[in-house]
Amino acid sequence: MATAARSIVPACIAPGKNADKSTAPSRRGFLALAAAVPAAGAMAGLPATVRPSPWNRAVAALQAAKTAREAYERDVFLPMDREYNRRSGKRPSLDFSVKALNGHVATYHMRPHELDDWADCDMWRRYAAPIREEYRAWQRRHDAALRDLNYEAIQVRYDDLNVVEADAEDALIATPAPDGAALAAKVRLVLSLTADSSFDDRWRQGLLADCESFEEARSKSA
């Protein structure tokens, strides 16, 4: 996932986000990979040789990062986010519609910093004033929930864990595969992580270098 972007804006506010697993960065192919590749040594999901190696260390680092992120997400972030949504409620719409005498309906959208301008205007007061009061009541609940639940600090920690996991994925892709099984696992990981995003050229080059290395070794042994 590209790296996780830090944001204290809860899911119910930010367009296109929601409060479950999909808010996390999308690079989550490790589970599919683990199911596809037999376990070896102490690490499940990716092949590893018996002796310590850069590949083993990269595999271990990714598994540790994934485990830490999942535990924090499950035990801290998602419960907090659900409680935030319960306390603050749904963000009110700032739109209102007016029907003219000729039957035409016009819809107007107010921004939070413009509420007083609309609500104090004689022409729009009857429409905008109730919306302003509803929105400000929600804003008070929102601010209190963020403060009382320590939302910002928890969000920052969650983003940091996603960054660590993303960095571990990058490190694994950059680590030369020691054998064909490891290369196959790397290919599966790359394909799963890039299923919903553009293919990172650094990863393409890493896979190409591995393939060329194994092909060169095969040619020499033939």
Q: Do 34 and 22 form a contact (C-beta atoms < 8 A)?
A: no
Q: Are residues 179 and 216 in the same domain?
A: yes
Spell 144-174 as b/e; 16+ CB within 10 A means b: ebbeebebeebbeebbebbbbbbebbbebbe
Which residue range(s) make up the domain with 124? 95-148
Are residue 59 and residue 76 in the same domain, yes or no?
yes
Same domain, 47 and 141: no
For 99-146, how does the pLDDT look when each residue is reduced to its tens digit (9 = 90+)? 888 889 999 999 999 999 999 998 899 999 999 999 999 999 999 999
User: Does 131 share its domain with 176?
Assistant: no
Q: Is residue 192 part of a domain?
A: yes
Q: Which helix (H) or strand (E) holds 188?
A: helix 180-193
Task: Please give the Cα distance from 88 to 140 (Å, whole number).
Answer: 8
Tell me what pLDDT residue 183 has. 82
Query: Is 3 a domain residue?
Result: no
Considering only 14-18, 48-52, 74-78, 179-183, which range has the smallest mean pLDDT? 14-18
Predicted TM-score (pTM) of this structure: 0.65
- The segment with the largest mean pLDDT, out of 15-19, 89-93, 185-189, is 89-93
Tell whether the torsion through CA atoms of 83, 86, 87 and 91 is positive or negative: positive
Residue recorded with tokens 């986010």: 81
Residue 178: its pLDDT value, please? Answer: 87
Mean pLDDT of the region 3-10: 37
pLDDT digits (tens, 9 = 90+) for 23-72: 333 344 433 343 333 333 334 455 554 456 899 999 999 999 999 999 99
Is 10 domain-assigned? Answer: no
Q: 84 with 183, same domain?
A: yes
Residues 157 and 188 in one domain: yes
Residue 1 lies in a domain: no
Please tell me whether residues 166 and 74 are part of one structural domain: yes
Q: Is residue 215 part of a domain?
A: yes
Q: Is residue 47 part of a domain?
A: yes
Percent of the chain past pLDDT 90, that is, above it, reads: 50
The last residue of one of the domains, among 133, 148, 163, is: 148
**Start-to-end Cα distance in the chain:** 41
* Confidence band, pLDDT 50/70/90 cuts, at residue 90: very high
Q: Do 132 and 209 share a domain, yes or no?
A: no
pLDDT at 163 > cutoff 90? yes
Is residue 9 within 8 A of residue 156, CB to CB? The reply is no
Does the residue 8 lie in any domain?
no
How many domains is the chain partitioned into structurally?
2
Q: Are 79 and 120 contained in the same domain? A: no
Shared-domain flag, residues 110 and 209: no
194 band by pLDDT with thresholds 50, 70 and 90: low
* Of 208, 162, 213, nearest in space to 186 by CA: 208
pLDDT class for 184, splitting at 50, 70, 90?
Answer: confident
Domain for residue 116, yes or no?
yes
| DSSP-assigned beta bridge partners for residue 96 | 108
d(C-alpha 201, C-alpha 45), whole Å: 24
Distance between CA atoms of residues 165 and 160, nearest Å? 9
Looking at the fold, whether 57 and 41 belong to one and the same domain comes out as yes
